[in-house]
Amino acid sequence: MSKTRIAVLGAGWWAAENHIPVLKSRPDIEVVGICRLGREELRRAQERFEIPFGTEDYNELLALENLEGVVVSTPHHLHYEHASAALKKGLHVLCEKPMTLHASEARDLANLARLHNRHFVIPYGWNYTDYAAKSKEIIQQGEIGKVEHVLCHMASALRDLFSGTGAWFAEEAFFKPQAKTWSDPAGGGGFAHGQLTHALGLLYWITNLQPTDVFCFSRASESGADLYDAISCRFTNGATGMLGGAGTMPPSSTYQVDIRIFGSEGMLLLDIERPRLELRRNDGRNSLIPVKARPGEYSCVEPVQRFIDLIQGKTAENRSNASLGAEVVATLDAAGRSAKSGRVEATGKT
């Protein structure tokens, strides 16, 4: 049986915890090479996962013979450089969030993916749940009418990570998260790029909303990375939104994600912390849809599986493509600029 040849660019904490194990679990996949800085760490990763080729030079990785796809899991500020190089090589790309740090870069990646006819997946795990699919179906069927306003709140227990003082959740991990990646605002560290991006990816996939104007208040950790974000947003269809949250829940807390979508005919409530999906309509035809999930549960297995299925030409839906990722990045880019300027900032979408 011919195997799909995949490489991993950025074999650090999350790649070792999630992406490489998921890839190695499939008999139809061959992880042919990995790339990361640090010769000793590279050797350890190759030995643990039995990967024949390792390099500190990503150009050498992308030049591997008959390579079909690459997982980009490098520090946030390098995603654009690495993903664009892979697309220009004709490779399919799974790019970790944040997709990029700037809207112009994200839109360029979306254009490159279209130009080269390559699959581009951002591993937003919640997008691949049954309750996300049901939520989108309800909106598409017009059950709440025209979307007029949204609330999207997220919170997680990562004060130490965004402050650069540790990572309580990764004490037993094979590799530790790099403090600078998560706590240096110049490199995309902080709650917005590190966490809120997930919730916005889910909201935008469900609703197809596209942001135009953003105003943001933000509060930072000792390192300067954002811990709290309060974002007001306007969308192309005229809808308004309140987006944001906090990275400071107590350690060991589950995720909070609360999405409420208000429309001309009713509203939809999706709560991931206390799993609940509820439709409330103006005509009184309300329903509580069963949700099979543990409180605050998050998994990133399905996006990696879906990436491989897409490469292999199987019938599979990409629920987190480059175009959706560009809308998320545009929101967070404008929010960051607004927090500094004290003004409403445009996303460049009209």
CATH number of the CATH domain containing 59: 3.40.50.720
- Say if residue 349's pLDDT is above 80: no
Give the per-residue pLDDT at 164. Answer: 96
In tens, the pLDDT along 194-223 reads: 999 999 999 999 999 999 999 999 999 999
Q: Do both 172 and 116 map to the same domain? A: no
Domain boundary among 67, 96, 125: 125
- Bridge-based pairing state of the strands 69-72 and 92-95: parallel
Instruction: Say if residue 245 is in the same domain as residue 258.
Output: yes
The pLDDT of residue 55: 98
Examine the pLDDT at 350 and tell me if it is beyond 70. no
What's the whole-number average pLDDT of the chain? 97
In this structure, are 187 and 279 located in the same domain? yes
Shared domain for 103 and 161, answered yes or no, is no
Pairing, β 256-263 against β 211-220: unpaired
3-class SS of residue 337: helix
Q: Is residue 23 part of a domain?
A: yes
Measured in degrees and rounded to the nearest 5, phi and psi for residue 143 equal -65, -25
Q: Check which CATH number belongs to the domain holding 230 and give it.
A: 3.30.360.10
pLDDT (0 to 100) of residue 229: 98
Contact 271, 257 (CB under 8 A): yes
Residues 336 and 245 in one domain: yes
Distance between CA atoms of residues 33 and 52, nearest Å = 6
pLDDT digits (tens, 9 = 90+) for 243-269: 999 999 999 999 999 999 999 999 999
Name the pTM for this structure: 0.97
Same-domain check for residues 206 and 341: yes
Angle at 272 between CA 238 and CA 325, to 5 degrees: 50
The secondary structure of 124-163, three-state, reads CHHHHCHHHHHHHHHHHCCCCCCEEEEEEEEECECHHHHH
The pLDDT of residue 1: 65
Q: Determine, yes or no, domain membership for 304.
A: no
* Tens digit of each residue's pLDDT (9 = 90 or more) over 293-343: 999 999 999 999 999 999 999 999 999 999 999 999 999 999 999 999 999
In a domain, 197, yes or no: yes
Residue 306 falls inside a structural domain = no
Domain membership flag for residue 303: no
**Does residue 63 lie in a domain region?**
yes
Are 169 and 97 contained in the same domain? no
Per-residue model confidence (pLDDT) at position 149: 98
Whole-number pLDDT of residue 186? 95
Residue 112 CA neighbour count, 13 Å, CB half: 22
Question: Are 118 and 131 contained in the same domain?
Answer: no
Domain of 206 in residue numbering reads as: 126-297+321-346
Final residue in a domain of this structure, among 73, 105, 125? 125
Residue 142 has pLDDT above 70, yes or no: yes
| Structural domain contains residue 309 | no
- HSE-up of 85 (CA within 13 Å, CB side)? 16
Same domain as 85, residue 50: yes
Number of compact structural domains in the chain:
2
Claim to verify: residue 38 and residue 78 sit in the same structural domain: yes
Q: Does one domain contain both 256 and 131? A: yes
Measured at the alpha carbon of residue 43, what is the angle toward residues 39 and 48, in degrees to the nearest 5? Answer: 150
Domain membership of residue 308 (yes or no) is no
Same domain, 78 and 211: no
Given 107, 125, 143, the domain boundary residue is 125
